[in-house]
Amino acid sequence: MPRPRHSPREDGHSPPEEPRRTPHRWGKKRVAWIAALAVAGVVATAGGATWWAKRQVDAALANAVHLQQQVAALQTTLLGYTRYTSYLTAGKQTLAEQMKLLAATVVREEGATQIIEKSVLGLASTGVVAITYTAEYAFGFDLNPQSYELRATDSGIEVHIHRPALVATPAVTHLQHRILSGGLLTDDKGAVIKLTQEAAKRAQKQGEAMAAEPAVMALCEKSLTDFLYNFLAKQPGVTQVPRITVVYKPSA
């Protein structure tokens, strides 16, 4: 229905016009932009959070791998420190095979005086003879596997074994003699043989006594422990061999 027109007022003024309505187009666009920015912010925040979280996960995984490598390396190192215990039995067998080579050799110049009877060595009368000779002694341990034990302890390796002993007949060489008093030797060759036999007996007794000397025992211990140390150090996976000590079993 057509809107009625207002007639001019009698006082000559036009009637007031109705306010014009402004469209809401720009307001809607503004709301849309704000919404879009909000969504973009949320997406950016979510993306940033995802990237940060992924970075943290990657870092944690890298740390875990590094830690595993360190643990593996530490285990290998620690195993290398105790790996030698796996070769103690093999070490006993090797020591038994090398027993003769592990003997400690001691060479000494020996001298003695001996009374010579004519009836024994052909002297014109009883005499006193001074003799000198070189004696070579060999000392060592009984390294048969059933005769000793190798024990791994908190402080290292202990070798429980009997004391060293003379392991071979002493070799007597360079024997010389000089008559101090009495007659002359009528059978020089026979006399030398007899003197050499007596010197060998004397060296045997001397060697048996020498086996208990601290210097000889220390020499035998060093020969044994050095060989065992070198044997264990050469075995696969062994990175360290602890101190090796000798513990003597009580005498039977």
Residue 37 counted as domain residue:
no
Q: pLDDT, tens digit, for every residue of 51-78?
A: 776 777 777 667 766 656 555 544 444 4
134 occurs within a structural domain: yes
Would you say residue 1 lies in a domain?
A: no
Query: How many domains would you assign to the chain?
Result: 1
Nearest to 195 by CA among 123, 114, 108: 114
The boundaries of the domain holding residue 188 are 89-248
Place of tokens 């791994």: 152
Q: Does the residue 199 lie in any domain?
A: yes
DSSP output for 39-78: HHHHHHHHHHHHHHHHHHHHHHHHHHHHHHHHHHHHHHHH
168 part of a folded domain: yes
What is the number of helices (H) and of strands (E) in the chain?
5, 7
Residue-wise pLDDT tens digits, 208-236: 999 999 999 999 999 999 999 998 888 88
CA torsion 188→191→197→202, rounded to 10°? -110
236 inside domain: yes
- Overall pTM > 0.85: no
The pLDDT score that the predictor gives to residue 218 is 95
Would 63 be classed as within a structural domain? no
In the block, residue with structure tokens 């060296």: 203
Residue 144 forms part of a structural domain: yes
Helix 214-233 to helix 88-97 angle (10° resolution) is 120
Candidates 90, 107, 68, 64; CA nearest to 145 is 90
pLDDT number for residue 79: 43
